[in-house]
Structure formats: structure tokens, C-alpha cells
Amino acid sequence: MTTANNRKRCFTCSRENNTYTCEGCSKRFCSIHIPEHHQKLNEELNHIIDDYNKFKQTINEQKQSPHDLSLVNQIDQWERNSIAKIQQKAQDYREIVIKSSQTFLNDIGIKFNELSEQLQRLQKENDFNEINLNYLRNQLGEMARELNNPSNISIQQGSQSFINDISIILPKKLKFNRWKQNAITVAGGNGRGQKLNQVIGPEGIFIDKKKNILIADYYNHRIVEWKYNAKEGQIIAGGNGRGNRMNQLNYPTDMIVDQQNHSIIIADFENSRVIQWLNQNQQILIKNISCSGLAMDKNGFLYVSDCSNNEVRRWRMGEYNNEGIVVAGGNEEGNLLNQFNCPGFIFVDEDQSVYVSDQENHRVMKWRKGAKEGIIVAGGNGEGKNLNQLSNPQGLIVDDLGQVYVADCDNHRIMCWCKGKEEGEVVVGGNGEGNRSNQLNHPTGLSFDDEGNFYIVDAGNDRIKKFEIIL
């Protein structure tokens, strides 16, 4: 803590003996007073330790007696005041009902006495007929009904509360991550073409744990993989021209990687099939389906969106010799909550809820497991560029908080819709159609890597952009 220095004045006694500089306060002390300074520092440290111990005790006490918290006390007081107000109101109404009931019974009694006198007079005079008897009988029945169901007394509940309502306002949490708005190109970006450093109108994308990028190279009828920081990609499926042979693809739109066997499952759109590639060996999994988007849940079920039939079906892995199960849509084309109009990209969460880009309805729908209809979680307010609208939504991702990230394709932006919100927020893009580093041109596929960096398929610019996360 100290360093030796000759012939400098001591801060305490001003003597010019050998002094020492305290690195904390930069003051000099002689050999006599440096221990005193140390002692004062020790005393201050002990005071701080005492304060820390007291604060720790306070925390422990509040943990043991959470009802003593000031906010809880305020709620308790509100409860007592509300109960007292209810009790007073109830007592007032009881008195009104009792008083009104007594008045009612008195009126009934007067009417009853009058009829009784008529009855006694008829009986005494012995001058009556059927008309008199029916009249007396009907009057007695009316009085009995009125006594059992008094028409002038009822209870009506108002819609406005006379108790002051309270609510709990919690501190706001960070809704979603932020990314640098100027992206870097990590694949493509070298013009349109069939070279290994080029792509044409890419669609779906997949990022593996090594940050390798798999791309559905739509107009080149192939799946290409760009290794991390590579200058060009390599063909891992298709690439043999457009066609329907087993080694060919025809406008692939999406693909996923089966983690169990590391095979690639591809939505071979124009061939109306879902095909699996494993080490250059191909197998058709599903035939005769206008497949647009693919997803796989944690249990290995495969989900496929069918644009022509406006539905999403699910298959158990390895059991593709059946028609699968409809888990969303399947009620013809339309814009009702149980319908789609050309479903595209899909996402399945931990609860097996299915999120669907309902392209021509310009909305994103969520279908809970077993639901008969979906709910709108993004868009759904007509086609447009307002924050509560989408225009031809494409790729989508849903995070653990239920926040929906969607490629708002024709608005050239990526939106985030927080759970329960009526409008979204632009997270990247949104600077008009273009090819600058902060612009997008008809984005389609979306993906995150393990670090939270955002990868966007910038389809109109024939490139993949990486927006780095701001830590």
C-alpha cells in the first residue's frame, strides 16, 4: 500500500523525516503516523463491514417476513378499506330492503283485510254466486304470488365499481436483443449466377453450431453450404440442373437438418415432394405435397406447410407412408381464424404450437397443439407498411419469451412482435429497398447462431447478411 520517499513532510506532524505515500489518499506520513493512518483505515473498514452485516440482516428479515414489505402493507390497507366500504354499503342496503319489505307487507295486509271483510259479508248475508267466488279466489292467488315474488323489490348490479381498483406496475424488461444496423455479407453478394460464390434468389436458411450456413439456392435448384468465413460455398444437394430425378431439385424453398443422422430434409417445391439427402443418397419422404416450409419439433416430428391445400401437416419421423395429421388449417382458402391463404415458412415451439407465415393474408398465425383455429400474433390488419401490418411475410422465428421475428418481405424489413402487442417494431432493415449494408431487398429466411447474431436471407440482393448482436 505504501512506497518509501525521503525528506517529504508528514501530513500529520509536518516533519521532514522519511515519509511514506498512501496510494489511496496520496498523502504522506512519517513512520510514527503511518500506523495511525492504517488504524483509521481499519476502523472505516470495520464500519463498512458493520453496515454490510446490518443490510444482510435486513434482507434476511424481509425474506422471513415478506408480508412486512411496504408494498404488501399498501395492498393490505387497500383490502381493509375496500372491505369496510363493502360492509357499510351492504348494511345500508339491508336497512333499505327491510324497510321496503315492511311497507310492502303492510300494503298486502290492508288489501287482505279488505277482502276478508268482503268474504265475511258474503258469508253473513248468504248472497253470493260463482262470480263472487272466482273473484275472491283470484284475488287470493294474486296476493300469494305477489307475496312470494314481490315485484317492487329487486337487486340490480351496476357496471361501475365504487371500490378504487389497484394494479401492480412491474419494472420493464428488455424486450428483445439489438443488432448493429450495418450488416456484413457472409454468403453470396457476388451477383447472380451459378458459380460457387453466387446464389440466385435464395429462400430458406439454416445455421449449424459451427456457424456454417446452409442455403436453399432457389433458382439454382440446389442446396449449398458455406463454411464459416468461407469465400464460396459447396453443393451438398441438387446442382444437377432443374428436374425431377432423384439427384435433382426443382425450386427448393426450405430445408432442415435431422440432428439424429445429420441428413438434410428439403422442401422440393416444384416437384411437390419432401426429399431427404444423406451422403449423396436420396429418399423421397412425402409425395404430392405443395411443400413450402419445414420444421421439426423436439420429439422428432416433421411439420410441412402445404400452400395449395392451405394447411400444415405433421408426420412422425420414419412413418411417411401415410397422409400425416393436419395440425393447422385444412379448411380451404380464406382469411378466417381456421383458414390460410398460402401458408409458407413455419416454426414449432417447445409446446408444439405451430407458427405459420400466412402469406396472402399478410399475418402470422399461432396454432396451439390440438386447436381447431389459430390466433393472430403478427399483422392481420391488411397489407401495408404500418407497424401493425405486414406485406407478404416469409421466414419467422419465435424466441423463449414468445416474441415473433418475421421477415416482412415486401416491406424490406425484419419485424419483432412482442407477445400480446398490437403492433411490431423494426429490428433491422426498414430503410427502403436497396443493397446498402443497412438495407434489405425482399428478405425471406431467418436464423440465429448460438451467439445471437441475426442472419437474413436478402433474396433480392442474392446474398446472406449477418447483423451482429450488440452486447
Q: Is residue 171 over pLDDT 90?
A: no
Q: 186-206 in b/e burial notation, b at 16+ Cβ within 10 A?
A: bbbbbeeeeebbbbbbbbbbb
Strand 222-226 and strand 463-467: pairing? unpaired
The set of cell numbers assigned to 367 is 396454432
389 and 382 in contact (C-beta within 8 Å)? Answer: yes
Q: Is residue 361 over pLDDT 50?
A: yes
Closest CA to 277 of 289, 268, 269: 268
Closest CA to 378 of 347, 403, 401: 403
Q: Is residue 137 over pLDDT 60?
A: yes
The set of cell numbers assigned to 342 is 398460402
Greater model confidence, 414 or 143: 414
What pLDDT digit, counting tens, does each position of 380-427 carry?
999 999 999 999 999 999 998 889 999 999 999 999 998 888 899 999
User: What's the whole-number mean pLDDT along residues 365-393?
Assistant: 95
- The residue count of the chain comes to 471
pLDDT at 3: 42
Measured distance CA(397)–CA(403) in Å, rounded = 8
For domain 184-467, which CATH number applies: 2.60.40.10, 2.20.25.10, 3.40.50.2000, 2.120.10.30?
A: 2.120.10.30
Measured distance CA(271)–CA(248) in Å, rounded = 10
The set of cell numbers assigned to 262 is 445429420
Q: Is residue 67 over pLDDT 60?
A: no
399 and 176 in contact (C-beta within 8 Å)? Answer: yes
- Which pTM was predicted? 0.65
Greater model confidence, 228 or 26: 228
User: What's the whole-number mean pLDDT along residues 344-373?
Assistant: 96
Q: Is residue 346 over pLDDT 50?
A: yes
What pLDDT digit, counting tens, does each position of 326-339 carry?
999 999 999 999 99
Measured distance CA(427)–CA(424) in Å, rounded = 9
Q: 356-372 in b/e burial notation, b at 16+ Cβ within 10 A?
A: bbbbbbbbbbbbbeeee
SS3 54: helix
